Structure 1
Amino acid sequence: MQTLTSRWSNVGKVMQLGLEGVAGATLFALMLLTTADVVGRYFFNAPILGTVELTQQMLAAVVFLSLPVACWREEHISVDLLDAVFPARFIWLRQLIVNLVVALALWVIAGRVWSLAERAFAWGDVTEFLRIPNGYLIYLISLMLFLSALLTLGRAIGYLLEGFGVVERGGPVSPTKPNTDKQQGDTHD
């Protein structure tokens, strides 16, 4: 029988695979569009019309489709200013606080972006040349921000449970699980 942790891990893998797949396909389409536009522009004097708008839309989609995966894996850019201040036994507390603050910030931003999407549809906001409604992309951005907030909150709950000993330690910042990958005496990363 699977444990709750392994079930959540499987859900995370499926979500990650889906979002990375869509983001990767969008990035590949962006690459094909750019290549076709450059070839058409310089060799046939016939650029693809609306390439700038499509590039903007696809680039925003790639970035925000990747955000939930970065939150799930905790692969944000980070500065380790507090590593020396926190004792190893309280790393879970630091991670809990950081993840709660980030989850709250993402939730607030997602709500504001959702309002912008509603306004974009109400005003009929479209791209200048191709007349693509901007609201769809803005809703996608908002949904990805909401998902990122929920995943970050899930990470915070995981750190809370780990800190109180409800779940087994062994996360990426857990000080109690030794790193078996390093050779004895190897002190550098």
Structure 2
Amino acid sequence: MRRFIYYLGIFSGIVLLGILALMSGEVIFRYFFNKPILGTVEISSYLLVIFCFTGIAFTQSQRGHINIELVTLRFPEGTQRMLRIITLILSLTTFMIITWQMAAAFWKSWEMQEVRWGALPLPVWPVKFMIAFGSLSLCLQLLLDIVDEIRNKITLPGRSN
């Protein structure tokens, strides 16, 4: 599972490079040829959602999300661990609900063949699927983190267990 989440992070980086290439191409074509690329806004907004939700689990696996420890650092280590476990459980619960709701939204969008209208009409279901998929991958990573924290296997930056 950890390898899968690592590859999701790699994929997220590739998507970011795709956004960079698309936006650079848009600027070049608009500036030098006076011909903007059709659907750049629509495609880049789709890619941005895919970038965020495929990278969210990898970011969690690297402890890359914001962590405010101003108060909790003053507590004993056992209390800090318990608070981390509670926070992970609350995060898992929240993202399980997000996953469930986005999976339902994806399915509805798929059934009705929902389309986002604009310069380039695009189906909406792939983005909703990626949100559900990315949220599910984060749930799996949070579950791994809970197990690791309970087993006391997590080493936080600047500390040793």
* TM-score normalized by the length of structure 1: 0.76
> Contact (CA 8 Å) 1:106, 1:149: kept in 2 or not?
yes
Q: Distance in 2 between matches of 1:133 and 1:120?
A: 8
Give me the whole-angstrom Cα distance separating, in 1, the residues matched to 2:60 and 2:45.
23
Alignment partner of 2:139 out of 118, 124, 149:
149
Sequence identity of aligned pairs in percent? 20
Which runs of no fewer than 5 residues in structure 2 stay unpaired?
none
Provide the residue aligned with 2:55 in structure 1: 66
Structure 1 residues 124 and 170: alpha-carbon distance in aligned structure 2, compared to 1, 3 A threshold: closer
Q: 1:72, 1:84 → 2: CA distance?
A: 21
Provide the rounded CA distance (Å) in 2 between the counterparts of 1:80 and 1:170. 16
Matching residue's letter, 1:138: K
- Rg larger for: 1
Partner of 2:78: 89
**8 A contact 2:116–2:124 mirrored in 1:** yes
- Match among 172, 175, 182 for residue 156 of structure 2: 172
**Separation of aligned partners in 2, 1:175 and 1:45:** 55
1:50 offset after TM fit, Å? Answer: 0.4
The structure in which a higher percent of residues are helix is 2
Q: Which residue of 2 aligns with 1:21?
A: 10
- The CA RMSD measured in Å over matched residues stands at 2.0
Q: For 1:56, which of 36, 45, 50 is the aligned residue?
A: 45
- Aligned-partner Cα distance in 2 for 1:17–1:66: 9
C-alpha distance after superposition, 1:149-183 (max 9, x if no partner) = 12112211221122xxxxxx562279663xxxxxx
Aligned position for 1:158: 148
Q: Which has the higher contact order (CA 8 A, sep 6+)?
A: 2
Give the gaps of 5 or more residues in structure 1. Answer: 1-10, 163-168, 178-189
Aligned to 2:21: 32
With over 3 angstroms needed to count, the CA separation of the structure-2 counterparts of 1:158 and 1:44, relative to structure 1, is same
Q: Distance in 1 between matches of 2:132 and 2:100?
A: 7
Q: Alpha carbons of 1:37 and 1:175: their partners in 2 closer, same or farther (altered >3 Å)?
A: closer
Alignment correspondent of 2:121: 131
Q: In the TM superposition, what are the counterparts of 1:90-109 in structure 2 within 5 Å?
A: 90-109=79-98
Deviations 1:53-109 (A, max 9, x none): 001001111111110112222221122243145212332211111111111111111
Tell me the distance in 2 between the aligned counterparts of 1:85 and 1:31: 43
Tell whether the 8 Å contact from 1:64 to 1:141 is kept in structure 2 after alignment.
Answer: yes
- Number of equivalences: 160
User: AA paired with 2:156?
Assistant: P
Shift of 1:119: 1.7
Q: Kindly tell me: are residues 86 and 123 of structure 1, through their superposed partners in 2, closer, same or farther at Cα, counting changes over 3 Å?
A: same
1:88·1:175 contact (CA, 8 Å) conserved in 2? Answer: no
